[in-house]
Amino acid sequence: MSQGKKLELSGKLGYWQIWALGVGAVIGDGIFLLMGQGIATAGPGAIFSYMVAGLSQLFLMVALGELAVGMPSAGAMSDWVERFMGKWWGFLSGFAFAVGWVIAGGSVGLALGQITMWFFPQLEGDYWAVLFSVLFISVFALLNILGTEIAAKTQLVLVIIMTGVMALFSLIGLKDINPSHFTPLLPNGMEGFWAAVPLGTYAYLGAVTLATAGAECKDPRDLPKALVWSSITFIVLYTMAQIVLQGLIPWSEITMDASPFTQASEIVFGFAGAFIMNMVAWIAAATCILMGTFYSASRIFFFQARRGFLPAFFGYLHPKTGTPVYGILVIWACSVALVVLGLYNPDLLYVELSMQLTLAWLVSWTLALIAAILYRKRAVKEVGKLPWKQPLYPMFPILGFIGIGIVFYGTFIGAPMTLLRGLIWMVLLYVLFRMFGKSGSFQSVSRSDEKSL
């Protein structure tokens, strides 16, 4: 094994950097570009639809907290599920989550380019959005290659700016709220309310990403704290922002053509409001790619390569930067390809592949929740020694499953063919996994070596 392969991920991330990873990984276009669709679907009641979606993520975070502190690992759910359910299920859980982030690299990356175009109205042609997307995706890949600390510190600065501006928007905008805008609360009934929950879940999808920082956090006890507090941060922040948004603009006037926050911010911040809010939207998309797509996916691929489930080059660490360089480059290439695909076929990227992203993460979360329950049952002594334990067990795993069920029903009840295509790619993945597993094509490490990764 070469020197690069012998290197291991080291603990460099403190609490606030892990917290920023979770807050920043919340899907930017889901908040700033697609919230208009959620409001059009549920009316003022979308506030509660998004709150339900956010709380379901919080429940999931709390339920997985014990695994995060007891088994800190770059593979996160891949490692947890493999231990209690076997290699295939562990591989599926981690790979599905990582591939979801690669898809987000394309969809959110293209959204980033489109947001950038707002600042340059003199530029014409869709190719400019692609060029901006590729430029920034390349910059974020480079930051991740240069070192975890560099990328994490950049993430922290961007998240502080984003949360600060959104908090100011909410506080200043409260005085201009018109209470009449909140009636009727559910103009489209409970059907509209539940239909908006999956849209809210898409917006909050990426928060559990910070669990993949297990191998690089200075203190594993920071993981469950960051899991919980990052969830509370984005739930409170975006709930307040949506209350102000709908209090300023009647729900019937909010469209899906542009970010509703842009119009609302002009009321709150004056003539510079649109510039400020579009900059925040840009930051929200950027933080998704910086530490969601590149950091999280590359760590899971790294872990799975070290376990022998993926080609060995994914498990290579650069001797100077200590980062999985080749994995990051592969993710960069896939993200750029998806951005170009989105230019020619936006429906494939934003509809079909985004639905597959949601399905992949629902599968990953479900398997991780099962592993969390098995951890409690099969490792009683180990759980008893943990410095952090989830309260009111088994309430949070149960609530987590309920949340997953609601999102699954709301997302796929009208799209059976999308679900079928998802099942097909999982079957094909299983066949490939069995083929390479039996042939021993990929070099693996032992479980004892894996624990030090």
For residue range 223-267, what is the model confidence (pLDDT) as tens digits? 888 888 998 998 999 999 999 999 999 999 887 666 788 889 988
* Residue 335's pLDDT band (cuts 50, 70, 90): very high
pLDDT of 14 over the 50 cut: yes
Distances (CA, A) of 393 to 63, 69, 276, 386: 8, 16, 43, 14
pLDDT of 207 over the 80 cut: no
CA angle 165, 167, 170 (to 5 degrees): 110
The tens digit of pLDDT for each residue in 403-451 reads 899 888 888 877 889 899 999 999 999 999 998 765 445 554 444 444 4
What pLDDT does 441 receive? Answer: 52
Residue 63 near residue 397, CB atoms below 8 Å: yes
Least confident piece of the model among 23-37, 116-130, 292-306, 386-400: 23-37
pLDDT of 346 over the 80 cut: yes
Task: Decide: helix, strand or coil at residue 13.
Answer: strand
Where are the chain's structural domains? Answer: 16-450
Distance CA 404, CA 125 (A): 40
Half-sphere exposure of 420 (CA within 13 A, CB side): 4
Residue 227 near residue 210, CB atoms below 8 Å: yes
Residue 13, strand partner residues: 217
- Other residues' Cβ atoms within 10 Å of the Cβ of residue 353: 21
Distance CA 382, CA 149 (A): 31
pLDDT of 325 over the 50 cut: yes
Q: What are phi and psi of 66, to 5 degrees?
A: -65, -40
- Max intra-chain CA distance, the chain: 68
* Residue 3's pLDDT band (cuts 50, 70, 90): very low
**Between 220 and 295, the higher pLDDT residue:** 295
What pLDDT does 453 receive? Answer: 39
Q: Tell me whether residue 257 is exposed, middle or buried, using C-beta atoms within 10 angstroms of its C-beta: 0 to 12, 13 to 18, 19 or more.
A: exposed
Closest to 295 in 3D by CA, of 7, 15, 22: 22
Contacts of residue 344, Cβ cutoff 8 Å, sequence gap at least 6: none
What pLDDT does 206 receive? Answer: 76
* Residue 27's pLDDT band (cuts 50, 70, 90): low
The tens digit of pLDDT for each residue in 144-199 reads 999 999 999 999 999 999 999 999 999 999 999 999 999 999 999 998 998 888 88
pLDDT of 374 over the 60 cut: yes
* Residue 452's pLDDT band (cuts 50, 70, 90): very low
What pLDDT does 274 receive? Answer: 87
Mark 83-104 as b/e (b = at least 16 C-beta within 10 Å): bbbebbbbbbbbbbbbbbbbbb
* Residue 2's pLDDT band (cuts 50, 70, 90): very low
Please state, for a pLDDT cut of 70, what percent of the chain lies above it. 92
CATH of domain 16-450: 1.20.1740.10
Residue 93 near residue 208, CB atoms below 8 Å: no
CA angle 425, 430, 436 (to 5 degrees): 125
